[in-house]
Amino acid sequence: MLLEPILILILVRYLRKNLLTQKQLPQVDRVLVMAMGTAIVLLVIGLTIKQIKPVATWLSHALAFAFVYWVLIKKEFFAARSVIYSVLPLIVISFVTSVTKLISIPFYTQWRNVFSAASSFAFIWILAMWLITKKQRKALDDEKKKILEIEKEIQINEKIKAALEIQVTERTAALTLQKEELEQTLNKLKSTQALLIQAEKMASLGELTAGIAHEIQNPLNFVNNFSEVNKELLAEMNVEIEKGNYEEVKLLAKDVTDNEEKIIHHGKRADAIVKGMLQHSRKSSGQKEPTDINALADEYLRLAYHGLRAKDKSFNATLKTDYDESIGNINIIPQDIGRVILNLITNAFYAVAEKKKSPNPLKEGETYEPTVSVTTQKLSSPSADEGKILISVKDNGSGIPQKVVDKIFQPFFTTKPTGEGTGLGLSISYDIIKAHGGELKVETKVDQGTQFTIHLPA
């Protein structure tokens, strides 16, 4: 059999095309060229001169084993070992077949089918190994592309970070200048009520700015730290790529990807804090208009539920509604009141979901069914609240501890874990209801649930 010269020609072409670099050519390529020439000579002799075909066959065996051994011991071809292992069974079977023919022709004739089957399996093995190798190379190429994309994202993030720093500096300078101008104006015109109100607004804005500076520093620190770590990982990855240690490259790429996810998470957290601050400090320019409060409440109930279901398919809750049809339309800013209702409903869903996940065991025979109720009511009986519209959002979650109930409407206060809430939702909601001439009240019991009630003038 003269399969070995053909296999050697294929292997030499693969090694020269995929594994050799310019630095390695002088030391290794000469041997590969010699192996290729020898294989061609043996192939020509075996095919043209039948008298010495047996000699060419045994020389082919020797050349094949020598070539395989040489490739396996050379560190330059470490990445090609899987390819060598794929052809090695066929070389061994070819050699064993030749030895069997030489020792005993009858034995070979008797077991010919076995040798043929072994050769067939060896060819299948080659095909399978080559497919696997091809798939691995494709995966490595994909990893390289991902690394390049990550590097581009890092560069973009650095540019965005620089732009944000410039904007923060400009905003700080502008706020400082405005504050100084207002202080001068107040000193000259203390009797002007409009200037006193403006000074009060600026003081509030200053407090928000100081609070947000503290809140945003934590996620920015995470972003900076993970960016530095990624820079070191990418440098180490380049070194491993040059060495050809692709398994180590995969591990480093996974670390970079994990860090990028953390950067994105904390970046979004910082973004949410900034957006929340802007919403809290911005004066609404919306106009009041007659609005069906029942339809508005129902719309935001469904919106909140389906939005949460889209994020967490395992979440389920019973929705209960009781709308007073006698209310009709009331004069409100629908976008602002809708934001308040959405925030209260979202908090209620969060409360029942957390209680569902809680490890605290239930009493024997007791089951927990997450339930959120939304009701509207028009008060018409003689009382202090006569002529008011009530909108209630109730849940059967874990409730709010009494020691923090008085703080829940303060800006940046939250009972959620770090990173899951900015602490501005209830504060903004309280301000919106107050601007409508209403009230936002809360009733809660630990382990039983919480009810928020909006009081609006009819």
User: Mind listing the pLDDT tens digit of every residue in the chain (458 residues)?
Assistant: 566 666 766 666 666 666 655 445 556 666 666 666 666 666 666 666 666 666 667 777 777 777 777 777 777 666 667 777 777 777 777 777 777 777 877 887 777 787 778 777 777 877 777 777 777 778 777 887 888 888 888 888 888 888 888 988 888 888 888 888 888 887 776 654 444 334 434 433 443 454 455 557 667 888 888 888 888 888 888 988 888 888 888 888 888 898 888 888 888 777 765 664 554 444 555 688 888 899 888 888 877 787 777 677 788 888 999 999 888 888 888 888 888 888 898 889 888 988 888 776 566 557 888 999 999 998 875 555 557 899 999 999 888 888 888 888 777 767 776 656 666 778 888 888 888 889 999 999 888 899 999 999 87
User: How far apart, in whole angstroms, are the C-alpha atoms of residue 92 and residue 105?
Assistant: 19
pLDDT at 146: 86
Residue 337 · residue 291 · CB < 8 Å: yes
Secondary structure (DSSP) of 134-148: HHHHHHHHHHHHHHH
CA atoms within 13 A on the CB side of 303: 13
Element holding 277 (H helix, E strand): helix 246-281
The amino acid present at 411, given as its one-letter code, is: P
The amino acid present at 318, given as its one-letter code, is: T
The amino acid present at 220, given as its one-letter code, is: L
pLDDT at 458: 76
Predicted TM-score (pTM) above 0.75:
no
pLDDT at 371: 92
pLDDT at 198: 42
pLDDT at 391: 93
Long-range interactions of 432-436: CB distance < 8 A, separation 24+: 432/284, 432/336, 432/337, 432/339, 432/340, 433/340, 435/284, 435/336, 436/332, 436/333, 436/336, 436/337
The amino acid present at 25, given as its one-letter code, is: L
Q: Regarding beta strands 289-292 and 329-332, do their DSSP bridges make them parallel or antiparallel, or are they unpaired?
A: antiparallel
